A and B are shown apart, each in its own frame.
Chain A
Amino acid sequence: MRWMWIDRVLSLEPAKKLVAIKHVSLSEDHIHDHFPASGARAALPVMPMSLVVEGMAQSAGILVGHAGGFRENVLLAKVARAELSEDATAGDSLRYTAEVEKLDAMGASTRGTVELLRPNEAPREIGRVDLMFSHADQSMSLRGGPALPGNNFVFGEGFRTLLRMSGIEMPAGV
């Protein structure tokens, strides 16, 4: 399974705001394990909320990475707040809106809202996910920690493809 939890970046205001979308499909394995039928209970295939948080982390992570020209390894360091009130299931889409709250050399904090787009229903906000990211190379080297892999190991091929398909260019040499 590819660890990509958004399908496209819909819009990007550099260093400010990114909107991304995730389409939930029955062909995804995880949805069948969450929750399978058990005894008399029918299956309840929904997207695990932990993966919704990951979707926001990828959305906000791209926003933070883009702000630094993708030169930093942007690591999710803290889930400051995650509140989700409704499940998404196959046929639904999730729209993630991530906004930069603070950004500096050491890291960033972001605020995010999650909307549920269900066919034949008006889009509605179902939660909020606020995150903190660390610029790993900066923060680890300052603390005398181990050296990280030389190449950018966060924004790998999966992200590059996603960004290219979304019309966002990676800077040359990254």
Chain B
Amino acid sequence: MTRDEIESKVKAVLVDALAVDEDDVTPDAVLTSDLGAESIDFLDIVFKLEQEFGFKVQQGELFPDNVAQDPKFVQGGKVTPEGIAALKKRLPHADFSKLEADPSVANVGKIFTVKALVNFCERKLAA
């Protein structure tokens, strides 16, 4: 499957799961702040990606479960360099540009862009 084909399927999943316009699903769109995704939508997206691509996503594989609760990774409302490194290792598909520019905890959600989902699916399909 080419990256374009993967991107097109991911886009269809997001349009369905988040009831957004296809035009809004750009590669850099952030799932939460740009597309309005809430916590349960992430489970919906995981279910739909599994169905669409036929792979199984383990808990915490696509979206992390409890980073913000770990005092090693978050101090004073900011993600520590150690935390960012750990996230990068666990989530190699994610887009860290916005979080690295401003490591506020509130920005952790911004690592999940449309591009990050396409990266994730591409890696899973290649595995």
Contacts and interface: CB of A to CB of B under 8 A. Distances in A.
Interface of A: 77-78, 80, 101-102, 104-107, 109, 132, 134, 139, 142-144
B105 to A, nearest CB: 12
B40 A102 contact: no
Nearest to B38: A78
Interface of B: 17, 39-41, 43-44, 47, 50-51, 59, 65-66, 68-69
Contact of B44 (A78, A139, A142, A144): A78
Contact of B47 (A105, A109, A139, A144): A109
Main SS class of interface, B? helix
B69 A132 contact: no
B47 A101 contact: yes
Contacts of B65: 142-143
Contacts, number: 38
Contacts of B50: 102
A78 B38 CA distance: 10
- The 6 A-B residue pairs with the shortest CB-CB distance in the complex, in nearest-first order: A77-B40, A144-B69, A102-B47, A142-B65, A78-B40, A109-B47
B43 A143 contact: no
A109 B44 contact: yes
A12 to B, nearest CB: 22
7 contacts: A102-B47, A106-B59, A132-B44, A134-B40, A142-B65, A143-B65, A143-B69
Contacts of A143: 39, 65-66, 69
A109 B44 CA distance: 8
B43 A134 contact: yes
Contacts of B68: 144
Contacts of A132: 40, 43-44, 47
Contacts of B47: 101-102, 109, 132
A77 B37 CA distance: 13
A101 B59 CA distance: 18
Contacts of A142: 59, 65-66
Nearest to B68: A144
A106 B63 CA distance: 13
A165 to B, nearest CB: 32
A106 B69 contact: no
Contacts of A144: 66, 68-69
Contacts of B59: 104-106, 142
B47 to A, nearest CB: 4
Nearest to B50: A102
B91 to A, nearest CB: 16
Given A80-B17, A132-B40, 14 more contacts: A77-B40, A77-B43, A101-B47, A102-B50, A102-B51, A105-B59, A106-B59, A109-B47, A132-B44, A132-B47, A134-B40, A142-B65, A143-B39, A144-B66
A87 B80 CA distance: 56
